[in-house]
A and B are shown apart, each in its own frame.
Chain A
Amino acid sequence: MTPSLDDLRVDARSGVGPPSVLQNGSVTTLRQTWILARNDLRQELRELELLITSVFFTVVILALYAVSFAEMSKSAQPKAVPGMLWIALAFVGALTLTRVFEREREADTFGALLAAPVNRVAMYGAKFSVTLAVLCVCAAVLVPGLLLVFPSSGVEGWSALEMLATVLLGCAGFAAVGTLFAAGLAHGGGKNVLLSVVLYPLTTPVLMMSLVATQRVLQAHPGAWDILAKIAAVDVILLIVGGALFESVLVGGAARGSGGGDSSTGAGGARAPRTGEVGPDMLGDDVR
């Protein structure tokens, strides 16, 4: 019988032949990611603050589009609607990212997590997942809403599966970059307005690629999967970079070497003085 993850944990704790799968840092990271994401979702379900704010904002944007572009010609709709979709998601994304980290900022709970044996990649992964989930809910309102308001935006026979993949991959790329910078600003006490200044230039490539992919999907273009594959590749790179830089962004390099688990060799918290530096021993008194 295949042991459950809980069984594996108990075995490891009791020291009875630690299972090899548990030694794999990625399993621990995934478990911690799930625990942290579940924690965020549990809080969200109690307050619904994040979801209500983001969905309400989405509906308002949709209503504004409907009123502003009601007279748009049928021929213009296939080109305009993808732009409307990704502009709306970019705004909702920035709003979501701000709120996602607000709870941690208000209670300084990131400090408690950073002091605990929690993999930093798991912290990044959890926030990324929650942001992506909220963006997907908003996209689930936006995409049908836009197609309803602008019925000529897609040709007959466009694939819903391709649209789903486009939205998922585009939002993932946006969230991968956004999570990294929103965390840094939230933890460092930075102004939220800075998030937009940093976020939009960095997410523009992903947004542009997603826009082109959406146009192709709606026009049933045969090359849609090509660009989706490229977005997926960019997402993977962004996620790796985001996970790797997350701790540095949060702590400014403190405890470096913990990001990937115990295998790291870097000294953290404090580093030895470089050769030639003024010896700090000259400054202080030892208490031993």
Chain B
Amino acid sequence: MSASIIPCELRSVVKSFGRTAVLRGVSLALDAGQITGLSGINGAGKTTLFRILAGLEDADSGELVFGASGEVGLREGVREQVAFVTHAPQLYPLLSARENLQLFADLRSARGCETMPAREALMTVGLEAVSDQAVRTFSRGMAQRVVLARAIAARPSLLLLDEPFTALDTEGQELVLRVLLEAKERGASVLLSSHDLARLREVSDRVVRLHAGRLESPREPTGHEGAEGVKARLPESSATTRG
């Protein structure tokens, strides 16, 4: 595998859809062994930010810089180290869970990338018993676990989780937390979004809020539990400092 892509940095990224400005000069540094929580109301641009980081969307301006060498832009070598979990499963419904994972494992292996065996990854998410069942027979939560297994198998340096708790039961949510901690211990950088601000604060080293196309630190707590951006304590490692 090539040199680590972490730290990774977004510099002044601007993105608009037509006349609607979604990201208005977003800069964000993601460091090794750090979980960054991303909050924001619906339509704040969180998914757009994730998609730009994953190379699925083109930014209008700005830079994406990866690794100590400062490699600019997403290329295949960079993508080897990125895993993106969306709130939509993105799985082949006619294939089994194992075949879905094996496909991506084969594609990675063709490039010489190290990949966890599909069966092992499915065991990690508790789906080994149904690994040969077609994904179309799975519940939404089970499908989400398969997607998590796909991300785990890639052993990414940059793990992007866009609302990964969607459709997951309590056990599944704990699984996500385990994945986060494992990635952090491995030295990966994690960017995680959720509408559950309490949980986000609980698991993240720092929380940043996307509001009106700009990144900002969440507001200090005022005692109103549950509201977006309210009672959001700044984590130990301040959102305004790197790492």
Contact = CB atoms under 8 A, between A and B. Distances in A.
Given A107-B91, A107-B92, A254-B57, A287 B74 contact: no
A85 to B, nearest CB: 32
B56 A28 contact: no
B226 to A, nearest CB: 24
Interface stretch (B105-113, B117-125, B176-184): B105-113
Interface stretch (A69-77, A234-242, A277-285): A277-285
B95 A271 contact: no
Given A114-B55, A261-B76, A284-B24, A270 B64 contact: yes
A42 B72 contact: no
B32 interface: no
A144 interface: no
B73 interface: yes
A77 to B, nearest CB: 43
Interface stretch (B81-89, B164-172, B196-204): B81-89
A280 B111 contact: no
A108 interface: yes
A273 B92 CA distance: 38
A283 B58 contact: no
B61 A277 contact: yes
Interface string A233-260: 0000000000000000001111111100
A201 interface: no
Contacts of B109: 9, 13
A109 B90 contact: yes
Contacts, number: 205
Interface stretch (A30-38, A57-65, A159-167, A175-183): A30-38
Interface stretch (A89-97, A116-124, A215-223): A116-124
Interface in A1-58: 9, 12-13, 18, 22, 28, 31-32, 35-36, 39, 42-43, 46-47
Nearest to A106: B93
Given A9-B112, A103-B92, A284 B55 contact: no
B108 A116 contact: yes
A117 B113 contact: yes
B12 A281 contact: yes
Interface of A: 9, 12-13, 18, 22, 28, 31-32, 35-36, 39, 42-43, 46-47, 103, 106-109, 111-119, 251-258, 261-262, 264, 266-274, 277, 279-288
Interface of B: 10, 12-14, 23-29, 52-59, 61-64, 72-77, 79-80, 82-84, 86, 88-95, 99, 103-104, 106-114, 150, 154, 208, 213-217, 239-242
Closest 7 CB pairs of A and B: A284-B25, A270-B59, A255-B55, A280-B25, A283-B25, A267-B73, A268-B73
11 contacts: A114-B54, A251-B58, A258-B76, A264-B75, A270-B13, A270-B52, A271-B61, A271-B63, A284-B213, A286-B27, A287-B217
